[in-house]
């Protein structure tokens, strides 16, 4: 079986040396200069994706905000890029808030998410001047109200609800069904109860509702169904409480092309169709068009990223399979081990050659399940080759660990302005920094 290299995204290429490139930069040269494992991040690709969202939002909605879901990739420079492109930041921990603030991100443009924020988390968010708290449950509303009372502040709150939608994605990244751990279900009446409870709190200003149907969805219908259900719920809130909420956050989850047989979900089409559904519901229920919020993360940064590894041992078991071992693995990319996330890989220094070798890509951690992919086609590998795993900008560095006491890799930013470090490689000294 032979296959030519597929360039999954427009920022990937092959140069005259036959080497794989990102933003026109030779990845083999990057591996030589910065070492491996190495995260490569294309700043220009991220900016172009930000602009697709902001331009589409301005085109189709009266008032809309794009929130970068920074759980996908969080480090100081990425908040600076997001801010310069006019995005707000969706955060899910004190650590993400702290990183954003350390980067100079305006606190009023930060939204704070999560299903079990601690009291310390909420105190930090309130004291830092975070703009919006996306509240998940009644206990959180109690804690937030008490904290705001002590600080003589009022929190702007968007309440997370579950619309009861199956997004037809992997169960581990499906978040909008009735039995989700996130939010309060509309179907059971708990969401309306939570709305009434929020409205009763003196130091909480309820401004809207939020849902997120799931991640990595290629089917437009769940997003359109969510728009219908959430608009109907806004009408129900007005009818039963007399309060008109002004914000509707439909989350994120737009699918990204990881492998050749996938296609990116069309962002412009999705925004246009959602806008049409919202306007139609406004006419049906006599509502003013709400401020629309969207939380793309993966779709902004996934294709901007590539991870580079050096090939070590190559092991063939006759009649069974071959393994290509690399100098990274589940410690820097746990997604295959967690839920068999698909990836497309190639030998970066042989990108112009046919893929003719079938193997499992094995990481260096002491786990049999430490794999990047199984039964995947590659160019015939040799020790010392550079393996590129494509579309790793989302949920790779952000999910990385020090398992087996492995230092986390460096991240280098590339683009039309050249290359620069965004995150330095951890040292052995870093591994024991907190040890006593």
Catalytic (active-site) positions = 366
Are 329 and 370 spatial neighbours (Cβ–Cβ below 8 Å)?
A: yes
Cα dist from 33 to 260, 312, 322, 397, whole Å: 30, 19, 30, 20
- φ, ψ of residue 292 to 5 degrees: the values are -95, 135
Cα dist from 137 to 118, 145, 182, 184, 214, whole Å: 12, 12, 8, 7, 19
Angstrom distance (rounded) from CA 299 to CA 293: 15
Angstrom distance (rounded) from CA 257 to CA 345: 13
- φ, ψ of residue 214 to 5 degrees: the values are 150, 175
Side-chain-side CA neighbours of 39 within 13 Å: the count stands at 34
Contacts for 220 with CB less than 8 Å, ≥ 6 apart: 265, 269, 270, 273
The CA angle 167-369-332, to the nearest 5 degrees, is 75
């Amino acid at each position: 079986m032979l296959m030519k290299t597929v360039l999954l995204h427009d920022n990937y290429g092959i140069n005259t040396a036959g080497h794989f490139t990102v933003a026109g930069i030779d990845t083999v040269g990057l591996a030589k200069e910065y070492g491996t494992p190495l995260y490569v991040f294309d700043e220009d690709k991220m900016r172009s994706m930000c602009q697709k969202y902001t331009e589409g939002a301005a085109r189709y909605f009266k008032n809309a905000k794009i929130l970068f879901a920074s759980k996908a990739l969080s480090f100081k420079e990425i908040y600076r890029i997001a801010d310069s492109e006019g995005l707000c930041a969706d955060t899910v921990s004190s650590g993400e808030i702290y990183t954003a603030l350390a980067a100079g991100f305006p606190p009023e443009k930060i939204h704070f998410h999560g299903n079990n924020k601690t009291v310390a988390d909420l105190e930090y968010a309130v004291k830092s001047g975070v703009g919006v708290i996306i509240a998940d449950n009644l206990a959180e509303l109690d804690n937030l109200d008490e904290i705001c009372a002590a600080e003589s502040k009022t929190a702007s709150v968007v309440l997370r609800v579950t619309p009861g939608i199956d997004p037809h994605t992997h169960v581990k990244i499906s978040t909008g069904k009735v039995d989700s751990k996130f939010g309060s279900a509309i179907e059971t009446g708990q969401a309306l109860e939570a709305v009434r409870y929020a409205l009763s709190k003196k130091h909480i200003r309820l401004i809207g509702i939020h849902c997120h149907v799931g991640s990595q969805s290629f089917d437009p219908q769940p997003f359109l169904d969510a728009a219908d259900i959430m608009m109907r719920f806004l009408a129900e809130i007005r009818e039963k409480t007399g309060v008109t909420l002004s914000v509707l956050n439909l989350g994120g989850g737009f699918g990204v092309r990881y492998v050749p047989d996938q296609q990116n979900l069309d962002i412009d089409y999705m925004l246009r169709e959602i806008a049409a559904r919202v306007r139609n519901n406004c006419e049906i229920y006599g509502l003013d068009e709400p401020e629309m919020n969207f939380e793309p993360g993966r779709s902004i940064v996934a294709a901007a990223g590539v991870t580079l590894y050096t090939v070590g041992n190559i092991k063939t078991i006759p009649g069974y399979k071959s393994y290509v071992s690399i100098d990274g693995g589940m410690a820097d990319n746990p997604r295959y081990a967690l839920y068999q996330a698909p990836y497309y890989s190639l030998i970066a220094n042989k990108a112009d050659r046919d893929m003719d070798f079938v193997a499992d890509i094995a990481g260096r951690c002491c786990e049999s399940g430490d794999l990047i992919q199984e039964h995947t086609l590659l160019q015939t590998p040799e020790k010392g080759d550079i393996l590129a795993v494509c579309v790793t900008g989302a949920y790779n560095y952000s999910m990385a660990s020090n398992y087996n006491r492995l230092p986390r890799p460096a991240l280098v930013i590339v683009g039309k302005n050249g290359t620069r470090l965004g995150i330095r490689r951890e040292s052995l000294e870093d591994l024991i920094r907190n040890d006593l």
